[in-house]
Structure 1
């Protein structure tokens, strides 16, 4: 009887080893890799100018239009990643978002465009030009950020249409109400009789 009991223990031990090693094999399998998508791209970037003159003036609009493409069909979020800079004699300064209106491309079609419109602010007075930095971005997907595009001078755009108007940015023929021309502040000399 003692032999039979030892025999049962051995069979039980072999069964446990057999079933235990099957579970160990499952633990040692290689993990699957993540699905790798495509980064979003901007195929064409054009600039449009709302003014009628040959000089940039405060209050006029410069519009950037781009064609968004994402091979995976991810929705556009690039318009929220556009920065405008005024180029001055002392360097460049980023313009506030309050002067910029952005609209993302509605889909991935070849004709769908995203837009960013800058209303030239008084903080850009005297600027000799404008620079734009765009980060192609999708709402979802991996990767969701594409290659950064920097256009150092919107009058020399290598990604599409440029604008032909130049700086320095001025007031044009409309002065803001809080600015009084210097000739109105000068004292009037007393008239003398001869």
Structure 2
């Protein structure tokens, strides 16, 4: 009979939570539709100079709209926090996270003293005020339905997301798979088209 200890261990599945801004995505889609509509009309019906200006403007504006609306996201799994901001991707193993804060913007701090904004989790003062006016609680069920409610405090969606991230950081910081240093990667797929579009618009305006 085989020894159970000799059997290869099965890796624990790592789940990933994604945090994004629905309002930002909706606004980004609307802006992209408008930009493509106006830009394509200029390319089709404009003269040569107008067409080049439209192409340059689209190369400049479309990546920027994507960067600030559709791209931002925060991914949290059992080992690390991955922050996808407009122009950078920051990977933070949980051991490197020293704190998470929401004041005028959502921010994550590292043990080395660095600070990164969480663009995908906006801070809404209006949502906080709305949540504070609606206390939450759990209702106990009696024979004839709900009869009592336990007092509680309802939080804005952004604050709830930060609470989840903070809890993961505290729970997973000591795990071996959560060790390591932060890493930052620039989003060249956004930066390069923006620069090319700006240069093209500048050349067309100078040359006339």
TM-score normalised per structure 1: 0.24
Structure with greater proportional helix content: 2
Bigger strand share: 1
TM-score by length of 2: 0.23
Structure (1 or 2) with the larger CA radius of gyration: 1
